[in-house]
Structure 1
Amino acid sequence: MNPVIVTSQEPVLLLGGGVVDASDLREALSVCPTVVAADSGARAALAAGRVPDAVIGDFDSLAAADRAALPAERLHRIPEQDTTDFDKCLRSVKAPVLVCLGFSGARLDHELAVYNSLVRHPERRALIVGSHDICFHGASGIELGLPVGSRLSLFPMREVTGRSEGLAWPIDGLTLAPDGRVGTSNRVTGPVRLHFDGPGMLVILPKTAAGRVLEAWGRQTG
């Protein structure tokens, strides 16, 4: 386990090497004063005119031209090959929230590894922003104000039980598991309260709910 490299009291933007929507990037930069790139994620930051505050990874995909454009003191190479660059960043950045772009919608194995890391690092609040949806680890639970009728999916990465309010199909009394019952395409009926009896539950919402999730996390840490 490597030491923490970046510490921030404010949200941190984490950029991966996948497709990064320009409007998502502009919005994230407006709320995240610190930018960390996972290896080739540096390209998206540099293309937007923003030199990342740190680049973390094994550097197997960091282009030579991008590396030359970065100050040497901002390059943090972690050579081990047992974990992904996303995992290296997740354990190397300590912040109240990580807003993560460029980690979904490309290679499926890479995306699945991202969700695996979310569950293995429940102490990190990381919001994965994709082209249509957002995803985060529910940890012990969350309270969300969402429009009635919104889609809310729960996908367990391990066996999880819990309780819910504000869902058309409550999870009370159910055991959810990746090889059993899952909770896709539930529907919001009112203020949502989710409580899980252990780690392992991914929460999936439309991308328009990103701000509400960040607000909810802010209340939890406030």
Structure 2
Amino acid sequence: MFEGLMILIVCGGDDPGGAQLRRFGAEAGLLIAADRGARYCLAAGLAPDVVVGDMDSLAPVELDELAGRGARLVRHRPDKDQTDSQLAVDLALEQSPASICLLGAAGDRLDHSLANIHLLLRAARRGVAARLITGAGDELFLVGGEFELTSCAGRTVSILPFAGRASGVTLEGFRYPLNEAVMEPWEPYGVSNVIESARAVIRVRAGWLLIMLLRPDLA
């Protein structure tokens, strides 16, 4: 969906599983693990290039294995202001990538999941496209401006304003189109739309939209 150098970040939420890790790992130019995410990488047979965080979720034997496989360990104090995922995103942004993909960024801890979704905006404000893939295969990303979805006909998508009002919202190629609409955070009418065209366009003149593209088998 996004062209150019992609950096994969594996966070410490739900284990994304070996198949998902290997699939996106094969597309990545750099693999960064946020603390426990390194364990998921090792279990999938992948060696992260960098492991960042306070390392409180990794055993000494795991840290030794990571170092032995060439991973750079960037250790931070436990009493820090940033989450391990934010540290990983900031490290990725220093590399000036075209895009960032986050796996293992959602899970039972709703507070961490919401915090990780907000990291999409941290990247977007730096001009870097970022997406979050859940363990179920749903894809979340932000649109500020215009974005085109191709080869997604029949898929369910929810579109919500993010971090405030979104105005001038136009949806073309959807079951429920919009034309220069205003979307407020407290009116989530953009849930459960359906893409009906081989080429669907999302446009917003002011603000941000959170796009949640559900996996293909969900209608």
- TM-score of the two chains, using structure 2 as the length reference: 0.82
Counterparts of residues 21-100 of structure 1 (less than 5 Å): 21-71=17-67, 74-79=72-77, 81-93=80-92, 94-100=96-102
More deviation, 173-182/189-198? 173-182
Larger helix percent:
1
| Partner residue, 2:106 | 104
In the TM superposition, what whole-angstrom CA distance separates every residue of 1:140-165 from its partner, at most 9, and x where no partner exists? 23111134322111122221122221
Structure 2 residue runs of 5 or longer lacking an equivalent are none
Normalising by structure 1, what TM-score? 0.81
Residues 17-64 of structure 1: CA deviation (Å, up to 9, x unaligned) = 121122111211221242110111110111222221011223333333
What code does the residue aligned with 1:183 have? G
For 2:205 and 2:213, the matched residues in 1 are separated by 21
1:199 CA displacement: 4.1
The amino acid across from 1:170 in the alignment is: P
Are positions 1:115 and 2:117 aligned together?
yes
Q: Is the 8 A contact 1:40 1:63 kept in 2?
A: no
- Residue identity opposite 2:130 in structure 1: A
Relative to structure 1, the CA distance from residue 179 to residue 33 in structure 2 (aligned partners, 3 Å threshold; closer, same or farther) is same
Q: Which moved more, 1:34-43 or 1:124-133?
A: 124-133
Distance in structure 2 (CA, Å) of the matches to 1:51 and 1:132: 22
Q: CA RMSD in A?
A: 2.2
Out of 164, 184, 193, the position equivalent to 1:186 is 193
Secondary structure at the counterpart of residue 36 of structure 2: helix
Displacement of 1:83 after TM fit?
Answer: 2.4
* CA deviation after TM superposition for structure 1 residue 73, in Å: 6.8
Matched residues, number: 201
Q: Please list the CA deviations of residues 116-151 of structure 1 after superposition, one character each: whole Å capped at 9, or x if unmatched.
A: 121233123222111141111123231111343221
Q: Percent identity?
A: 29
Instruction: Specify the SS of the correspondent of 2:58.
Output: coil
